[in-house]
Structure 1
């Protein structure tokens, strides 16, 4: 799954049929696969106040929200399964530290790069998951005003420029010990612990809704992206082509 995730990240900037590839990958993931992500957005416009929003998602289902008043809420089907007080106590300090760090970096970026114009928003996305063999993987993605800028593999320390004009941002952050320490700590420590706890509730939810004669089905996930009247052959053909392309990338990287 680690190689799949890396290849998907590269194809997302190149392949016009990337949404179809995501659908194909859902078919290939084990039914107990769990991808935990936290999306941070920090912004300011003119003389207005700073604002922020953080959402926690498991397999694209939002279960946690952290707002500009530093209020933490659990939401959705999964959120209702969680102990709101317990989850928010474990998340709030780290989420606040992340928001504060990103806000400080936006101020620093604006001082270093006078071409940045307001309204200004910085997006960050932390994701982590376990492979089938138990290996843990994680990454951070960053965007500025809606443009993807950087991808950071914190397990290897590799920084990748997604946008050709993001070298200045990479150079500034890659050498910043506060930034690199926070990215590594949250991805390899906090995210791992949160994944273990949230996943246990998700697995209980799957077990309670599973059919006695069938394993948990991915069709419920697919229904968000595919209309019911789309025939399977129409999915298989583009899947075959795109998965073949993905295999070529994986093979070329050994």
Structure 2
């Protein structure tokens, strides 16, 4: 459609579009959830912990390393054995001052201990890969846009994904033959299954909620404009007003 009209009409149209964009950004910035006629609306977020267990580490390598991600962005690395933490983002710096962080490190250490203790019973019988065998586990919990929560685990050896666990319904899915012993062992071990459920559906979800308080504040700070629109001189025409209103609209959408 070919829009027609003078500079005044273009100015009004640009202003309306800018208003809609601002309202759109405000709606997206609800934190963490808001109620509407269609129910509870939330910004979807996820939290993941990647465990690497090496039963025979070299002198300078940890036997258990955990990498933490919020919305697939790494914010810290944790050594289960020495309890050393590397903060890899501003969020990581905020996390270290949280009261709940000490409890989280204890849970991560317990998870690393459990995985290391289970390795002899779940390692593939015919291990022909060169080099030492390592166990990887990825725990992810998330909150969807409608407020519903869920969680899952992924397990593998030396970079090969082998087994999936749906924490919500308790189902195990083997995706590689190397995960056969692991599946047989864990799906019949109530204690291990309950542990994975509790940590992912309980602890992880609570941590995600805590992290979102800091994370969404940071996102808002980054999205806040630091400068206003250019000052328009009194002699500027209506068409010149349009030239800065439209870029402001584009910038607003980008910041969203």
Alignment TM class, shorter chain as reference: 0.5 to 0.7
Residue 60 in structure 1 maps to residue 42 in structure 2: no
SS in structure 2 opposite 1:120? coil
Is 1:36 equivalent to 2:40 in the alignment? no
Aligned-residue offset at 1:178: 2.4
Q: Is the 8 A contact 2:156 2:179 kept in 1?
A: no
Among 167, 171, 176, the alignment partner of 1:163 is 176
2:148 equivalent to 1:135: yes
State the partner residue of 1:77. Answer: 90
Q: Distance in 2 between matches of 1:138 and 1:217?
A: 30
Report the counterpart of residue 19 of structure 1 in structure 2: none
Distance in 2 of aligned mates of 1:136 and 1:154: 11
Distance 1:80 1:114 in 2: 43
Tell me which of 151, 162, 169 is aligned to 1:149: 162
5+ residue gaps, structure 1 = 1-29, 219-254
Query: 1:120 and 2:120 equivalent?
Result: no
| 1:106 aligned to which of 119, 123, 129 | 119
Tell me, yes or no, if the aligned pair for 1:74 and 1:84 is still in contact at 8 Å.
Answer: no
Q: Secondary structure at the match of 1:39?
A: strand
TM-score normalised by the chain length of structure 1: 0.66
Q: Which has the higher helix share?
A: 1
In structure 1, the partner of 2:9 is none
Q: Distance in 2 between matches of 1:80 and 1:170?
A: 38
Q: Number of aligned pairs?
A: 187
Aligned-residue CA RMSD (Å): 2.5
Q: Does 2:208 align with 1:195? A: yes
Q: 1:46 to 1:72 in 2, by over 3 A?
A: closer
Q: Map 1:195-214 to 2 at 5 A.
A: 195-212=208-225, 214=252
Task: Judge conservation of contact 1:72–1:88 (CA < 8 Å) in 2.
Answer: no
Larger radius of gyration: 2
| Matched position secondary structure for 1:86 | coil
| Distance verdict in 2 for CA 1:209–1:85, change over 3 Å | closer
1:58-80 per-position Cα deviation (integer Å, ceiling 9, x unaligned): 01222222113122343312212
User: Does structure 1 conserve the Cα–Cα contact (< 8 Å) formed by 2:45 and 2:144?
Assistant: no
Note if contact 1:121-1:145 (Cα within 8 Å) is conserved in structure 2. yes
Moved over 2 A (4+): 30-33, 44-50, 70-75, 80-88, 107-110, 164-168, 211-218
Do the aligned partners of residues 122 and 217 (structure 1) sit closer, same or farther apart at CA in structure 2, a change above 3 Å counting?
farther
